[in-house]
Structure 1
């Protein structure tokens, strides 16, 4: 099974520049003016042009203001401080402080198109520091 990440954006050129600068992704295929494939992560990221106020899921119009999402994406990094500086310089916004946990460090960020993300830096055994064996 493959998983693809599709992000609706109102401005393809701005989104492409943001994600290439923030995460070091590279351009794969282009789909005319409708989208672009970004490579360099474990799954491809597709930026898909969808105008604001066009109909999205459940007949609701798209809104690119920051919004709560029941799904967000995590980016695992080796150096959270350096990665945070890079994404902020690219145009992401930091949402809250860097938090420490037994498994590592985390900070919430958002892109200018309303999508929520987290940067994670694992320490020790990562999630295995808190995991239990299920029956």
Structure 2
């Protein structure tokens, strides 16, 4: 069995987070999982918003801080119309972090959601990541 991918995003305000992700990324609510989680559908993997209070224990000696933070694991959402997607995300409360940038595989916009999580909106060129893919040396 291949592993399934689930995206979990800790948030301090479930209703506000649901409103943001539905408006910004055109996701739609799925199931409510008790009073502390909601499933969002419409992406390639389900997105689960998990209600977690600020200052709560995140892991070991780490506490949740919903100020802008950076982590090497982040979310990229592939969109057809980058400018429209950025405008929709900003209208919903995202903060753009720099200009839209070109890349060999397309274009990218970096943003932060209202809870400090970084996310990127990506518009692929016709070749997408194939434009930078290297041949497998084992072949």
TM range (shorter): over 0.9
Q: How does 1:65-84 map to 2 (within 5 A)?
A: 65-84=67-86
What's the offset of the Cα at 1:59? 2.5
Aligned to 1:120: 122
Unaligned residue ranges in structure 1 (runs of 5+): none
3-state SS of the aligned residue for 1:96? coil
Residue 53 (structure 2) aligned to one of 51, 54, 62: 51
After superposing on structure 2, the runs of 4+ consecutive aligned residues of structure 1 that deviate more than 6 Å are: none
Match among 31, 34, 56 for residue 33 of structure 2: 31
- The 5-angstrom pairing of residues 4-15 of structure 1 reads 4-15=6-17
TM-score (norm 1): 0.97
Q: How many residues are matched?
A: 135
In the alignment, what sits opposite 1:108? 110
RMSD: 0.8
Taking structure 2 as the reference length, the TM-score comes to 0.94
